[in-house]
């Protein structure tokens, strides 16, 4: 029996999604006759390669996988949104664009969770949301028109208000008095104690790992990459050269394992992982599954066997 080719599996997955549209890993696994665990691993690779996209929306606790040109088909799954998210979706779909500060607080929260359907942008100091299928430039131009109309309305209201004040004999502040008020406000703002701004250095986590390695007598040979979320370092540990991967997070997930594996494979090294927390359930199952895996072989059909015969 011929061994299964990873490239062929990826092509099968792409064809399946192309036919089915946005799909759950369990459905893809069933379509290609593979366990959900291994199908998820291949889907993770396809996602990191930019071939498939992953929805923020969850269906039964799992995201949907879809091709880049299938995003509009996610609308078919909006019934799985929470009631408030579905309400926000319907309002945004109907109006095409929403000004954030004018929405009910619950809708504002829901819009921030509709990452598949609601895209945020700013015009001036105003935050707006546009429906994901609406044109971005048209939406921004529409915002400009709305802002200009509002400004004209405010100017008209101000002029009319001044006329009413004059008729009612309301006392106005003279320019000299206005200058005094502004000067007093500036002095007050300058005398207010300001909170010191603290900027977290991107080397904080790296220094933390260096200290840990020093305690464990792990020698760092080269820092491959780092930020405040991860550190990839070539180290000498127990007389072996390894890739040490440190994650600044409480739980290590399946994607973290894949990321560490790919980096180590690119460098041609074994690797070890350091974390502030533990492996989550899926990551533990992945490790156990690979430990007991002796091989993956393709089952040839009778027609293929006949073709291969001399």
Q: Output the DSSP codes for 232-291.
A: EEEEEETTEEEEEEEE-SSEE-HHHHHHHHHHHHHHT--EEEEESSEE-HHHHHHHHHHH
The domain defined by 81-163 folds into Arc Repressor Mutant, subunit A (1.10.10)
Condensed to tens digits (0 to 9), the pLDDT of residues 29-74 reads: 999 988 888 888 899 999 999 999 999 999 988 999 999 999 999 9
Size of the chain in residues: 310
Q: Which pLDDT score is estimated for 144?
A: 56
Contact 246, 219 (CB under 8 A): no
Range(s) of the chain covered by CATH 1.10.10.10? 6-72
pLDDT at 16: 95
Q: Which helix (H) or strand (E) holds 86?
A: helix 83-95
Q: Are 223 and 250 in contact (CB under 8 A)?
A: no
Stretch 18-22: mean pLDDT: 95
Range with lowest mean pLDDT among 5-9, 41-45, 76-80, 143-147: 143-147
Q: Which fold has domain 6-72?
A: Arc Repressor Mutant, subunit A (1.10.10)
Return d(Cα 97, Cα 20) in angstroms, integer. Answer: 30
pTM for the full predicted model: 0.47
- Name the DSSP letter for residue 69: G
DSSP state of 195: P
For residue 81, is pLDDT > 50? yes
- Give the residue with greater pLDDT, 135 vs 80: 80
Of the candidates 60, 26, 44, the one whose C-alpha atom is nearest the C-alpha of residue 253 is: 44
How far apart (Å, rounded) are the C-alpha atoms in residues 53 and 157?
Answer: 49
Phi (first) and psi of residue 232, to 5 degrees: -115, 120
């Amino acid at each position: 029996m011929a061994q299964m080719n990873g490239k062929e599996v990826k092509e099968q997955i792409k064809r399946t999604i192309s036919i089915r549209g946005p799909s759950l890993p369990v459905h893809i696994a069933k379509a290609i006759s593979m366990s959900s665990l291994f199908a998820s691993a291949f889907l993770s690779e396809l996602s990191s390669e930019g071939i498939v996209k992953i929805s923020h929306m969850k269906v039964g606790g799992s995201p949907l996988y879809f091709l880049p040109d299938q995003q509009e088909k996610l609308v078919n799954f909006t019934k799985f949104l929470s009631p408030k998210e579905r309400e926000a979706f319907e309002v945004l779909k109907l109006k095409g664009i929403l000004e954030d500060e004018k929405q009910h607080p619950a809708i504002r929260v829901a819009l921030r969770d509709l990452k598949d359907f609601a895209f945020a942008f700013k015009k001036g100091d105003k935050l707006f949301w546009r429906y994901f299928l609406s044109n971005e430039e048209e939406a921004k131009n529409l915002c400009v028109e709305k802002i200009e109309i509002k400004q004209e309305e405010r100017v008209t209201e101000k002029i009319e208000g001044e006329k009413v004040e004059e008729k009612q004999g309301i006392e106005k502040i003279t320019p000299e008095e206005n200058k005094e008020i502004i000067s007093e406000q500036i002095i007050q703002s300058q005398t207010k104690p300001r909170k010191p701004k603290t900027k977290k250095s991107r080397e904080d986590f790296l220094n933390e790992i260096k200290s840990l390695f020093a305690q464990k007598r792990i020698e760092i040979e080269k820092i491959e990459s780092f930020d405040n979320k991860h550190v990839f370092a070539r180290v000498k540990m127990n007389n072996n050269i390894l890739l040490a991967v440190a994650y600044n997070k409480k739980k290590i997930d399946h994607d973290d394992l894949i990321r560490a594996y790919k980096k180590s494979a690119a460098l041609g090294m074994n690797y070890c992982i350091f974390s502030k927390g533990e492996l989550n359930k899926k990551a533990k199952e992945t490790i156990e599954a690979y430990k007991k895996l002796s091989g993956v072989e393709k089952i040839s059909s009778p027609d293929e066997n006949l073709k291969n015969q001399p």
